[in-house]
Amino acid sequence: MQKSDKKIKTKNKNSAQKGVLRKYSRLLFMPLLVVAFSVAVVYATVVVGRLTNEVSYELKLPDNIVRLQVLNASSDAGAMRELCQFLSEYKSDQVEFMVVDSSKVNRLSVSETIVISREADLTAAVLTSELVGCDPSLLKFKPLEFNTDLVTVSIVIGDDIDMQQINDNIIKEDR
């Protein structure tokens, strides 16, 4: 009987130790979990902060550069190419044009050429509309939602575009 009593005492002693360990492990588990979560949140905040500081600065371009988006909604397939080339080569004391996007708009047919300002300051759009021969009263302001190309002005080419008239107007201004 003495051996079995010893076994029972040993089992009771082991189970008592396990109960104490469980109690202390439960007491330590929650604070350790809170600390680990806090460290993860701080780390994520630092990483996101660094990324946004590097990416979200505002790029300021020189005032005399107008970044253009040219959309061809006319039936003349060559009008966009001609206008882009003309505006890219045009230089004056007031303005210099940089075509950053050009594409054909298949689903839209426009009779009149429209100039759309993508910035609240309409100065560049007014100069562009005068140069292209558009009526400045048709000028619209509508910012682009995701303006990754930093477009200043959009030109929607209509069927009324006349490159010869535009070239003639420029020659008259130079004289």
User: What pLDDT digit, counting tens, does each position of 103-159 carry?
Assistant: 888 777 777 888 888 988 888 888 888 888 887 788 888 888 887 788 889 888 888
Helix (H, G, I), strand (E, B) or coil at 61: coil
- Give the DSSP per-residue string, 122-168: -HHHHHHHHHHT--GGG-EE---SS-TT---EEEEE-TT--HHHHHH
pLDDT value of position 121: 86
Q: Which tens digits make up the pLDDT trace of 31-84?
A: 888 888 899 998 888 877 776 665 555 566 677 788 898 988 888 878 888 888
* Sheet strands side by side (includes 140-141): 96-104, 65-72, 153-157, 114-117, 140-141
Own/partner pairs, 21-24, CB within 8 angstroms, 24+ separation: none
pLDDT value of position 124: 86
Kindly report the pTM of this predicted structure: 0.60
Q: Which tens digits make up the pLDDT trace of 79-116?
A: 888 888 888 888 777 788 888 888 888 777 777 888 88
